[in-house]
């Protein structure tokens, strides 16, 4: 069963915004945030991402709101008590 999906080219103004956004993140590292339900990589976030994002997992279909700042990976520090 095919859905009738209309695909059109973005306007030149929108394409310029896309180009600027791609240029802005060109040198940033990405990290993956995993779905809390199934562990699948849910979204990719960049170093400058702040706030909340909502994503739907492609594997299990669950929608989750992520607070990007609280989902940062913690650097493990190993202290030697010697």
The pLDDT tens digits of the residues spanning 1-49 come to 567 878 889 999 999 999 999 999 999 999 888 999 999 999 999 988 8
Tell me the pLDDT band of 80, cut-offs 50, 70 and 90. Answer: very low
Task: Report the residue count for the chain.
Answer: 82
Q: What is the pTM of this model?
A: 0.64
Rg (CA), the chain: 18
What's the number of domains the chain is made of?
1
In a domain, 66, yes or no: yes
In a domain, 12, yes or no: no
Range of the domain at 62: 34-72
Look-up of token digits 């956004």 = 21
Among 61-65, 69-73, 74-78, whose mean pLDDT is lowest?
Answer: 74-78
In a domain, 41, yes or no: yes
In a domain, 51, yes or no: yes
In a domain, 24, yes or no: no
In a domain, 56, yes or no: yes
The answer, yes or no, to whether residue 74 has pLDDT greater than 90, is no
Q: How far apart are CA 74 and CA 65, in angstroms?
A: 20
């Amino acid at each position: 069963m095919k859905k009738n999906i209309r695909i059109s080219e973005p306007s030149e103004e929108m394409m310029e915004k896309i180009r600027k956004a791609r240029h802005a993140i060109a040198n940033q590292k990405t990290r993956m945030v995993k779905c809390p339900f199934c562990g699948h990589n849910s979204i990719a976030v960049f170093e400058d991402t702040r706030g909340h994002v909502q994503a739907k997992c492609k594997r299990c279909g669950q929608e989750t709101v992520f607070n990007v700042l609280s989902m940062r990976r913690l650097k493990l520090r190993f202290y030697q008590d010697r």
